[in-house]
Amino acid sequence: MAELEKYIDRFFPEARCDSIQDFLTQIYIREHSWAKAELSIIKFIFLYPESQLFEDVKNIRANIFQTEKTYRDYADFLKTIVETTPAYPDIETRYFKFIEMLKEFPDPALKSRFNREARKYLELFPLSDNSPQVCLWLAEQYSNKQRPQSAFITYNRLMIFYPESPLMATALYRTAGIQETDFEEYDNAIETYYRFIEQFPGDTLVAYAHNRIAKIADRERKNWEKAVAEYQIAADLFFEAGKTDLSISASMRKALILADEMNLIQDAVNSYLQVDERFPGTPAAHKALMAAGNLYREHKQFEAAITQYMALYEKYPDAENVLNALDKCVDIYNSKLDDHDKTIETLDIIITNYPDSKSAKKAEKLLKKLQKS
């Protein structure tokens, strides 16, 4: 059988390969090699629709899909393939459709053959319009199987042999990702991300490339200036693209770096306020205003902190963290600024507007204490 399989590999699709394929199928069935029989039948259905043996394969050999228990989980799927696969016009298209089907096949035994069949397709049809797509699929499979070196080589094959393909951008971006996450070649990854940005400035992945550069500069290189600049570019591009969560995440991380690593307090506050400006009414806006207030408070800029806390209350009185903001206003007025009147005024806001809250009960106790003093 090994010699017959080699024969098909060598002479496909000529030299009566259909007869050899059917002969192998019958041997697999007799020997109860069900996975091989399954692949052989499906391959025949796709590749040899004009063969004189086609009806025998379809109506006789393929009956095992309904009679053998080993196929019971996939019987309906296999039946659909046998009965509905069209006779594609040329052998290249037939082979492409065959491996496209294998890629998502529900039977792991057949799906595991995808890599081998994809490599064979690329060997047979290197100049096909579908070859870049097959390269991309193959690289993705290697990545999924934790084979980054093979994935990297295959993505580069796509870029070298099919530089005009629309998939070139995806391949270039993913090579940068492999350099970053698998090879930990951070400088090379940054260089590749920048090359991607330069070559494909309008691609939807450009925002993600800037974000990845920012993360490398942030986590791996501690290059705060680059990280801040790239996070801002990413935040802007994500905002324009409607990627709310990603834009917020980039802006919030930028603010933390500005505050904690660069001690640029006002710049950090401005970054927080940008989140509120761009995404008003969202939990992120509530969190950003609170963070701005907390930052001022930590740096003893108490009046500025109160301004942000009160902005949260005035703009979003139903925010989940509004009582925390008002409580902090009370604490600042009472213990930091020693402003008796403002303390009482803020306590009244809590008691009047949030009467059933724990903060209201706490405010009532403090109010009584202040009124006695």
Q: What is the DSSP letter of 344?
A: H
| Gyration radius of the chain over CA positions | 32
pTM recorded for the entire structure: 0.90
User: Residue 347 corresponds to which tokens in the numbers above?
Assistant: 């306590």
pLDDT tens per residue, range 51-67? 999 999 999 999 999 99
Average pLDDT, the chain: 95
User: Residue 237 corresponds to which tokens in the numbers above?
Assistant: 């591009």
Q: What is the DSSP letter of 354?
A: -
Q: What is the number of alpha carbons within 13 Å of residue 328 lying toward its C-beta? A: 28
- pLDDT higher than threshold 60 for residue 11: no
Grouping H, G, I as helix, E, B as strand and the rest as coil, residue 358 is helix
pLDDT tens per residue, range 155-181? 999 999 999 999 999 999 999 999 999
Q: What angle do CA 176, 180, 186 make, to 5 degrees?
A: 105
